[in-house]
């Protein structure tokens, strides 16, 4: 059983640029969630994908978008980067069905540390 892997591990971008972060979910997990974690804070929910469709979103602007692919990989795209976007971005997969109560744990990757200068 492979775990959740994210790439790259670290990334430095300039304000206004665009970035794509990648995640490979655990095999068999149809649901992937993305979280943003600022330094010293808890993870904040960005959105969730189930079977390649976004089915839930947190309080993040439309410049945060995502994709999920049939091979259990997914992407988080952020356009027009701002300084406040600097954070650890975490991907988490689970076998649970979308929109249901979280009766199964999330499996997290080690994240991508994004720095916006």
Partner 1 sequence: SQQGEEDPQALSIQEGENATMNCSYKTSINNLQWYRQNSGRGLVHLILIRSNEREKHSGRLRVTLDTSKKSSSLLITASRAADTASYFCATDLLEGNTGFQKLVFGTGTRLLVSP
Q: Which residues bind partner 1 (CB under 8 A)?
A: 4, 33, 35, 41-45, 48, 55-56, 58-59, 88, 90, 92, 99-111, 113
Burial 25-60 (b: 16+ CB within 10 A, else e): bbeebbbbbbbbeeeeeebeebbbbbeeeeeeeeeb
Burial of residue 1 (CB within 10 Å: 0-12, 13-18, 19+) is exposed
Whose Cβ is closer to partner 1: residue 18's or residue 41's?
41
Whose Cβ is closer to partner 1: residue 45's or residue 67's?
45
Least distance CB 103 / partner 1 (angstroms): 7
Whose Cβ is closer to partner 1: residue 22's or residue 107's?
107
Least distance CB 71 / partner 1 (angstroms): 21
């Amino acid at each position: 059983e492979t775990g959740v892997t994210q790439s790259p591990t670290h990334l430095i971008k300039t304000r206004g640029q665009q970035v794509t972060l990648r995640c490979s979910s655990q095999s068999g997990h149809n649901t992937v969630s993305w979280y943003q974690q600022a330094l010293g804070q808890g993870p904040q929910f960005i959105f969730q994908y189930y079977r390649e469709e976004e089915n839930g979103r947190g309080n993040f602007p439309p410049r945060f978008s995502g994709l999920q692919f049939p091979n259990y990989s997914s992407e988080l795209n952020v356009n027009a980067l701002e300084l406040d976007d600097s954070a650890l971005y975490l991907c988490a997969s689970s076998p649970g069905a979308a929109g249901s109560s979280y009766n199964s744990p999330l499996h997290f990757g080690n994240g991508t540390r994004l720095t916006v200068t």
